[in-house]
Amino acid sequence: MQKPLFSTPDLSHVDLDIFELRYHSACMQCTYCFDSCCQYGCDVNLGEKDRILALKEELVPFLRIPESEWFLPEVYVDPEYPSGRFVRSAKRNGACVFRSEAGRGCALHRFALATGRDYHDVKPMVCWLFPVCWDQGVLRPSSDIRDDLMCRGRGPTIYESVRNEIRHVFGDALIDELDALAPASIRASILAVSQLASTSPAKSSKNAEPRR
């Protein structure tokens, strides 16, 4: 079921399943999937690709993979991407080339933390927004969470898990609108988390432990 949205010109509707579907969002605490959601590679819009390549002098020794092996050559058109076009990350050893081989999670996220950068400026948006996406103006769950995400059905709802990431893309007005559409139980959970955060020492999101 979908509901109309009015706070941003980029979106016309939201799929209410973002308030119902659940997954184990604390990915780095997972002990059973072994980064299975990273096995396919990811979409990287051309602006993000340029930003990643601009860091190659630091990234190549960190990843120990030459930049020529980071991306597939095909370029796809999608007007909903910020640059209007995107490529796919390459795969290596059965997973995304950017999956950390030194441990769990995303190596780009680890690189951002290690160098004091905001991971939003390094890691592709589709990864830190996962498992939410949007197409044809509809904010919706990624198909992975319905089809083959190993940890689906466990943990908090999608919306609770990626609410701040949605805010990062679309701003406070959309969050206010989505909060109003959310069931009362989710609104209560959000309020409780907010009150807890207000009494705890501030922690920058760029220093957050990687979700994946």
Residue 211 has pLDDT above 80, yes or no: no
Predicted confidence at residue 192, as pLDDT, reads: 82
CA distance 48 to 121: 8
For residues 23 and 183, which has the higher predicted lDDT (pLDDT)?
A: 183
**Residue 207 confidence class, pLDDT cut points 50, 70, 90:** very low
**Residue 36 confidence class, pLDDT cut points 50, 70, 90:** low
pLDDT averaged over every residue in the chain = 86
Structure tokens, 64: 């120990």
pTM above 0.85, yes or no: no
**pLDDT tens, position by position, 173-200:** 999 999 999 999 898 888 888 777 767 6
**pLDDT tens, position by position, 49-75:** 999 999 999 999 999 999 999 999 999
Residue 206 has pLDDT above 70, yes or no: no
| 88 Cβ neighbours under 8 A, 6+ residues apart | 41, 42, 43, 44, 71, 72, 74, 76
CA distance 21 to 159: 9
**Residue 210 confidence class, pLDDT cut points 50, 70, 90:** very low
